[in-house]
């Protein structure tokens, strides 16, 4: 590879801001220029659609410029097309293997931008086309009747008679964390997730998070990454919080989930390599498929087998004032319900296409996902807000799990695979290889 001794203006600007290298090949130099324009375009799109940008920790002046004069959506669509065509012209022969992965990652991010900007402009997509355009994976939707055998098995293990969803709701209500215990239980859960993660991963120096309880949100938990390895983790208390959610949310939003992923990407790619495109996180992109899938699988990786229930039984049940002797029964129900997780994709597709009314969607989620009515209504609100994003949780988890387990049978091999996934420009296609 021919290395030029003078960096371009784009490469130099990136290096000055993020501390990355200044020497570049023609191909990597072009990637740098595309990356800068991608970040600017994404920030402006975020001014056109609230929630489009999930996190940003790049130059303040770029954000100020986007707020001051965001281009119209029609112009941003042309910009996304231009950048995609320019990216296609970057010769692979001028790139290292690492840089080729960077190029593939950017191609997926730009495809997502093209899709989302088209949606903002009013274009309509099928559920499958939308999901593939935004997240890089085409979901296979199962007819709801395919879940009936799972419900039949659950019907036999849930105590009581009558409607299954009502019985499940009544059973789960025994495991709600009392309001005055939620803070202590959640903090203990997050601390345990962090300790498990630190046994295998070296976290950036000074990383930390703040915990906040909120209401009136369509989600149960959210990580707002602030940059410099710091996050705000919010927990929604609109609905009862079950004891199982302490470790679920602690791992998913924190360790080794969203907080760790963002902190490692910032350290390894933005700061060390100067890859500026990782300073912005567009929510509707393949990056979310990796983020949600790894965050969900991170629970299982940190607490494999029966270790999750054992920790809850020993540490969290007493903190919450719940009977530890019943922990195994609650875990058995949660494990059985997991087989229903993808039913929500089908319900979302039917509802968003107009083939289900809102009430029918609520009823379907109560039947096939075994939500309480309040939980089903909250889930419909999530679907209305985030649409095909729902595939990232279950399909993403399945693909991340398969990818990590292929790395080997030992904890060390699996955590190393997870670390690479979290700190490299990983795409959904990488998970399938």
- Whether 399 and 427 map to the same domain: the answer is yes
Look at residues 74, 95, 124 and tell me which one is the last residue of a structural domain.
124
- Whether 180 and 268 map to the same domain: the answer is yes
Residues 170, 175, 179, 180: is their CA dihedral positive or negative?
Answer: positive
Say what the pLDDT of residue 159 is: 87
Strand partners for 176: 242
Say what the pLDDT of residue 413 is: 98
Spatial distance between the Cα atoms of 364 and 154, rounded to a whole number of angstroms? 16
Cβ(30)–Cβ(86) below 8 Å: yes
Half-sphere exposure of 241 (CA within 13 A, CB side): 29
- Whether 99 and 190 map to the same domain: the answer is no
- Whether 120 and 149 map to the same domain: the answer is no
What's the whole-model pTM score? 0.93
- Whether 286 and 399 map to the same domain: the answer is yes
Cβ(276)–Cβ(62) below 8 Å: no
Spatial distance between the Cα atoms of 420 and 413, rounded to a whole number of angstroms? 11
Say what the pLDDT of residue 1 is: 38
Position 15 in a domain: no
By CB neighbour count within 10 A (0-12 exposed, 13-18 middle, 19+ buried), where does 206 fall? exposed
Look at residues 60, 92, 124 and tell me which one is the last residue of a structural domain.
124
- Whether 287 and 401 map to the same domain: the answer is yes
Spatial distance between the Cα atoms of 172 and 101, rounded to a whole number of angstroms? 44
- Whether 300 and 409 map to the same domain: the answer is yes
- Whether 43 and 118 map to the same domain: the answer is yes
Q: Residues near 41 by Cβ (< 8 Å), separated by ≥ 6?
A: 76, 79, 80, 83, 113
Spatial distance between the Cα atoms of 67 and 43, rounded to a whole number of angstroms? 8
Spatial distance between the Cα atoms of 198 and 194, rounded to a whole number of angstroms? 6
Position 231 in a domain: no
Q: Tell me which H or E stretch contains 53.
A: strand 53-56
**What mean pLDDT value characterizes the chain?**
93
- Whether 260 and 400 map to the same domain: the answer is yes
Position 56 in a domain: yes
**Residue range of the domain that includes 102:** 29-124
Q: How many domains does the chain have?
A: 2
Position 4 in a domain: no
Assign 284 to helix, strand or coil. Answer: coil
What is the per-residue DSSP string for 300-355? HHHS-TTHHHHHIIIIIHHHHT--GGGHHHHHHHHHHHGGGTTHHHHHHHHHHTTS
Cβ(261)–Cβ(230) below 8 Å: no
Each residue of 129-188: pLDDT tens digit?
999 999 999 999 999 999 999 999 999 989 888 899 999 999 999 999 999 999 999 999
Using 50 as the pLDDT threshold, list the residues of the chain that sit under it. Answer: 1-12, 16, 21-23
- Whether 37 and 154 map to the same domain: the answer is no
Spatial distance between the Cα atoms of 266 and 423, rounded to a whole number of angstroms? 8
Strand partners for 3: none
Say what the pLDDT of residue 9 is: 46
Position 2 in a domain: no
Q: Tell me which H or E stretch contains 233.
A: strand 230-236
Position 13 in a domain: no
By CB neighbour count within 10 A (0-12 exposed, 13-18 middle, 19+ buried), where does 305 fall? exposed
User: What are the Cα distances from residue 97, in Å, to 93, 102, 103, 232, 286?
Assistant: 10, 9, 10, 35, 20
Q: Taking phi first (over 0 means left), then psi (-120 to 50 degrees means alpha), and beta for anything else, what does residue 321 get?
A: left
Residues 276, 278, 403, 343: is their CA dihedral positive or negative?
Answer: negative
Position 420 in a domain: yes
- Whether 103 and 154 map to the same domain: the answer is no
Assign 150 to helix, strand or coil. Answer: helix
- Whether 149 and 109 map to the same domain: the answer is no
Position 250 in a domain: yes
């Amino acid at each position: 590879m021919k290395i030029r001794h003078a960096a371009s203006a784009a490469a130099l600007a990136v290096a000055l801001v993020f501390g990355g290298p200044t020497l570049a090949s023609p191909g990597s130099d072009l990637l740098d220029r595309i990356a800068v324009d991608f970040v600017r375009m994404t920030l402006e799109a975020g001014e056109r659609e609230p929630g489009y940008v999930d996190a940003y920790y790049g130059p303040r002046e770029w954000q100020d410029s986007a707020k001051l004069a965001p281009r119209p959506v029609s112009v941003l669509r042309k910009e996304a097309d231009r950048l995609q065509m320019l990216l296609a012209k970057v010769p692979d022969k001028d790139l290292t293997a690492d840089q080729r992965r960077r190029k593939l990652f950017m191609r997926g991010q730009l495809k997502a931008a093209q899709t989302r900007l088209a949606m903002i402009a009013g274009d309509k997509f099928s559920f499958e086309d939308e999901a593939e355009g935004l997240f890089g994976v085409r979901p296979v939707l199962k007819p709801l009747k395919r879940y009936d055998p799972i419900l039949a098995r659950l019907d036999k293990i849930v105590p009581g008679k009558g409607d299954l969803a009502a019985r499940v709701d009544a059973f789960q209500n025994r495991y709600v964390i009392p309001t005055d215990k939620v803070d202590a239980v959640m903090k203990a859960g997050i601390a345990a997730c962090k300790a498990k993660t630190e046994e295998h991963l070296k976290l950036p120096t000074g990383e930390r998070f703040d915990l906040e309880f909120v209401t009136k949100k369509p989600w149960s938990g959210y990580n707002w990454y602030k940059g410099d390895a710091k996050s705000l983790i919010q927990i929604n208390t609109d609905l009862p919080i079950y004891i199982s959610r302490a470790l679920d949310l602690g791992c998913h939003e924190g360790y080794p989930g969203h907080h760790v992923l963002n902190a490692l990407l910032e350290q390894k790619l933005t700061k060390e390599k100067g890859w500026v495109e990782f300073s912005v996180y567009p929510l509707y992109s393949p990056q979310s498929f990796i983020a949600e899938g790894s965050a969900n699988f991170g629970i299982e990786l940190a607490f494999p087998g029966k270790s999750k229930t054992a920790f809850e039984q020993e540490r969290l049940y007493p903190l919450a004032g719940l009977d530890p002797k019943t922990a195994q029964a609650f875990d058995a129900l949660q494990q059985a319900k997991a087989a229903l997780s993808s039913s929500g994709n089908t319900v979302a597709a039917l509802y968003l296409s107009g083939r289900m009314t809102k009430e029918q969607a609520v009823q379907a989620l109560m039947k096939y996902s075994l939500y309480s009515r309040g939980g089903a209504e909250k889930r419909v609100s999530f679907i209305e807000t985030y649409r095909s994003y729902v595939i990232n949780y279950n399909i993403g988890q399945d693909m991340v799990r398969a990818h990590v387990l292929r790395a080997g049978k030992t904890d060390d091999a699996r955590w190393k695979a997870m670390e690479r996934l979290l700190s490299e420009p990983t795409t959904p296609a990488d998970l399938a290889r």
